[in-house]
Structure 1
């Protein structure tokens, strides 16, 4: 399947197929989603922009406590932003890995952030997160925003943002704590 970059979107059939298949992760999926190739995380272009990076969006998201927040509020930290949904079975499988990742980086400048996509009201999301032992912050967004803001073509989608606010990696499909730790450690150096 190939994205129609001229119209800015995926066909509905392709999106449903990716979501149904669990969006198998891998370097090819990352590259297709615009992510940097392995080993490119620490590289920089001559103008100081990291190679393959793009700026993190400045969108304001709704927090579960009714407030507002932005990725800009998290500058100075490596941010692992995970787009997920209560309706997404591969997302459920991935949650324990993210809970473990949050535990590993509890005392370091790393923020694990959930972005709940079309996952019900605040109480439904809170109950769901409690069932999975999720204690890291979660914000809410709609499907249209997930596609427009992050180019999400399936779920889960994980976006890794460096401390300066550059998206350094975009990963499609469930990730492991071990694979994300490798990406994080590269950015903490």
Structure 2
């Protein structure tokens, strides 16, 4: 259940739709980077998330893989429409150094999220986070939001709205080169 700032953020996100994506890009562009940083990239967050197995994990644990981190919610209709595309993507990249990762935002407890994912045939890993963390950590301005992280841990692209397996495959292949 959403309360306080999380509920206000959700109402604001529903009202705003997908309009503020450029603001997130501007925030990333304002940071200073060393010469080793790929053009337009920013470091993936070091935050620790709760896993559906009851443990903790971070994006750092996935280094060496391209990570497709999808921020979604059980309450988000476009997220539901996108899930079959992500299931297909996970199947396509099952034997490659690619991790499809769900980040369930304000979507209930572990059992509720597991049941929801089972109904959609989702077998790729999912971690949990709150709305405030989604906004603070990833600058999420709407859902679903997909964050493309390269094997070295650099966010290379942020995509707002539902994605297709075909479109994400193009993004992944570019990061695997």
TM-score of the superposition, structure 2-length normalised?
A: 0.86
Give 1:33 deviation, angstroms. 3.0
1:17 is matched with 15
State the distance in 1 between where 2:21 and 2:93 align: 23
Consecutive aligned runs of 4 or more in structure 1 exceeding 6 Å deviation: 10-13
Give 1:32 deviation, angstroms. 4.3
2:31 matches 1:33: no
Mind listing any 5+ residue stretches in structure 2 that lack a counterpart? 1-7, 27-32
2:71 matches 1:74: no
1:126 is matched with 114
- 3-state SS of 2:141 partner: coil
2:115 matches 1:117: no
TM-score of the superposition, structure 1-length normalised?
A: 0.81
Change (3 A) 1:11 1:129: closer
Change (3 A) 1:173 1:58: same
The alignment covers a number of residue pairs equal to: 164
2:41 matches 1:53: yes
Q: Deviations over 1:126-147 (max 9, x none)?
A: 0000000000000000000000
Q: Deviations over 1:112-137 (max 9, x none)?
A: 00000000011100000000000000
2:81 matches 1:83: no
1:64/1:139 contact within 8 Å kept: yes
CA RMSD of aligned residues (A): 2.1
Mind listing any 5+ residue stretches in structure 1 that lack a counterpart? 1-9, 36-44
Q: How does 1:106-185 map to 2 (within 5 A)?
A: 106-185=94-173
Say which of 75, 81, 87 aligns to 1:99: 87
Give 1:34 deviation, angstroms. 1.4
